[in-house]
Amino acid sequence: MAQQGDLAVVQALFDLQNLAVYFWAIPMAGMLAATSIITIRTGVFPKWLGWVGLLIALGWLVDASGIVAPQQGPLSLIGGLIGIVGSELIWIPATSLLLIRSTKESPQMSLGEVSVS
């Protein structure tokens, strides 16, 4: 498309790609914030994981604020790096390891012990 010189189509596709990033950032921030608040309140995971998750959620929200001036705001790059690096390289692996560790430490239940209310 770009080689054919249709600049309007290229610009529209570029803008759609930018919008897709922002539509992904807001749900990620919501999921991380909700999970982190539950973690901090209940202690189902260590509290540090909840605080790290809230920081990463804030990074996603800063990234989403870049929709006001795409490709121009420095906060969009910083927020995106915090969100992507934080969630993909810190929060998700840490949560996964904690889930694996908690299942190994908890006693196994038989089907007879499960109560349905």
Give residue-wise pLDDT tens across range 27-49: 989 999 999 999 999 999 999 99
Dihedral of CA atoms 32, 59, 62, 80 in degrees, nearest 10, equals -110
Dump pLDDT digits (tens) for 72-97. Answer: 655 666 766 777 788 888 899 999 99
The label of the residue with tokens 């908690």 reads 102
d(CA 23, CA 16): 10
pLDDT at 3 over 70: no
Comparing 112 with 67, which gets the higher pLDDT?
67
d(CA 34, CA 38): 6
Average pLDDT, the chain: 79
What single-letter amino acid sits at 41?
R
